[in-house]
Every structure is written in C-alpha cells, then in structure tokens.
Amino acid sequence: MTFKKSMSIFLGNIDTLFKVLLYSFVLILICLAVLVAIIRPIVGGMFNALELADQLQETVNTWLEGGQGSFGKFFSDIGATFSDNSLGLWNMFFIVMLFYALFKFFLLLTYIPLSKVLCRKMSESYTEKFYAAFVGSLGKSLLFALLHTLMTVAIDAAILLGGYYLFKFIYSAFKILSLTIVAFAVIILFSLKTTMLNQWVPNIVCGKKEVFPALRSAFPAAKRSFSSIFSSVLALYIMLFGLIASTWLSSLGVVPIIAVASFMVLENAVGLTTYFKDNNLKFYTDEIEIESH
C-alpha cells in the first residue's frame, strides 16, 4: 500500500522529477569534468604502472574470441589478475569511493527541498517551486548531506567489498549463479540501510526538527513501519539496479540517470507517505484524492 501511494505521488509530481533530472545532469557533467581532469590521470597512472589494464583487456578479448572456454576459466583469470595487482586495486577503490562520496553529497543536497515540495503538495495540494525550496533550505541541506555522506559511504563501501568477497567464496559452488546471489544480497543490504534512514528527512521537513534530533527520532520511526518501508525500498532498488544493468551501455547512460532521479523522488515519497500514515495525517495522493487514516 505504501508503494502504491508513493507511486501515485510520484506520477503526480513529474514536473518535480524534471527539475531533479536537470540538477542531476548538471551535477554529472561537473563530476565528469573533475573525473577527466583529476581522477582519471591518477587512476590511469596506476593502471599503466601495474599494466593492469592491458592484462584485463587481453583476458576479456581472449575469452570473447572463444579461446578461454568456460565462464569459470574467465573468472579465474580475472581473479588472478586482480590478485597480482591488489595494491593498485585498493588505491583505485579508495579513489572511486572518494569520487562516489562527492557525487552522493551533491545529490543529497536535493533531498530536503525535494521533500518540502512533496510535503506541501501532499498536505496542501500546493506546488512549491523546487529551486525556491532548494535555496531556502540550503544551510540545513548542507549539514544533512555531509552527515549522511559520512555515515553511509563507509557502509556502502563495506557492502560492496563484502559482495566481492562473498562472490569469491561461493563461486566454486554456484558458478555463474553466484552473480545473482551476490547482487540480491547487496540489494537487500542497501535496502536495509535506506530503510533505517528513511524517516530522517520527513522528520526534518514535516516534523520541523533540526538535523540531529530528526536523526535520533528516525530510527524508532523506521522500526515501527519497517515492513512497509523495507518492501517498498527493496522494490525500488530492484528496479533501479535492473534498469542500470540492462540499459547502461545501450542508452549511453541516459536511462540510468533518469532511473536515479526517479529513485530519489520515489524514496522521498515513500518516506513522506509513511510519516503521514504513522502520524494519522490526511494527505493528497493527487489533485483530487485524499488519503485519510
């Protein structure tokens, strides 16, 4: 039910999605410029020094040409290449996570203004200007984005590393099926993390709380509605990962960008729907229908 109502709110706020998309495109262009100017030469230097890129390219090309045989031989050779260059890979992983933290920080700046727009639409059926909300809440958004990034980037890194080592551990038993098992395990862990923080922004926006008090009250609120939040967030992550994996190359990255922006709007809609329901507040799901409890 939470997911259905959130989807209705999302579809009723497509104009807000376009604004978030525009922000995301601008942000991605800035981050790509930083990547090309600063990070890529560093990573490229590491790859050249270790000759890792050439080794990986040779392994992939040989397998594609049919010379390596099975998936098992392919992954075995890839694993051997990684093992031989573990120091460079750790350095590269650190740089990638640093870049990811920067990108995530700027994306998180949209969460509070986005929720302000959705909250007013749900409670008053009034459409607040996204950019006005963005400027008006910038101070609080900066603190929220910084704290959220510091808390979650380390968790995200641990989940990804755990997925990598889980794959190595179970591959001999499950072969190519290991990819599906690991992907689902990673999605579940990301969903759990997002679920526990889901009520943070609603407590800031609708509850009129400061960032730290809102965080303290977010955990018990998430626990009270854990099943409905988790099932909704899990569905969102499955759709997000599925779209990114299936369209990244064919759409030249355009569909994944749209998917990420849509995920942000839907994640906030899930949080606000849960907040309104838990506090027995009426809210609009569209211009006409009012949901009451």
DSSP 112-130: HHHHHHHHHHHHH-----H
The pLDDT value recorded for residue 288 is 52
Per-block mean pLDDT, blocks of 10 residues, the chain (293 long):
79 77 74 64 52 56 55 57 62 78 89 92 82 89 95 93 88 82 95 96 95 95 94 94 83 80 90 92 68 55
Widest CA span of the chain, in angstroms? Answer: 65
Of 2, 20, 4, 21, the C-alpha closest to 254 is 21
HSE-CB at 217 with a 13 A cutoff on CA atoms is 15
Question: How far apart (Å, rounded) are the C-alpha atoms in residues 236 and 266?
Answer: 8
Helix segments in 109-225, DSSP class H: 111-124, 130-136, 138-174, 177-196, 200-205, 211-224
Separation in Å, CA 192 to CA 21, 111, 112, 180 = 26, 19, 21, 18
Q: Are 59 and 78 in contact (CB under 8 A)?
A: yes
H/E segment holding residue 41: helix 40-50
Three-state DSSP class for 137? Answer: coil
Handedness of CA 208, 214, 220, 222 (dihedral sign): positive
HSE-CB at 185 with a 13 A cutoff on CA atoms is 17
Q: Are 236 and 263 in contact (CB under 8 A)?
A: yes
* 3-state DSSP percent of the chain in helix, strand and coil, to 5: 85, 0, 15
Question: How far apart (Å, rounded) are the C-alpha atoms in residues 90 and 158?
Answer: 13
Of 273, 286, 110, the C-alpha closest to 198 is 273
Task: For Cα atoms 239, 11, 17, give the angle at the middle one, nearest 5 degrees.
Answer: 80
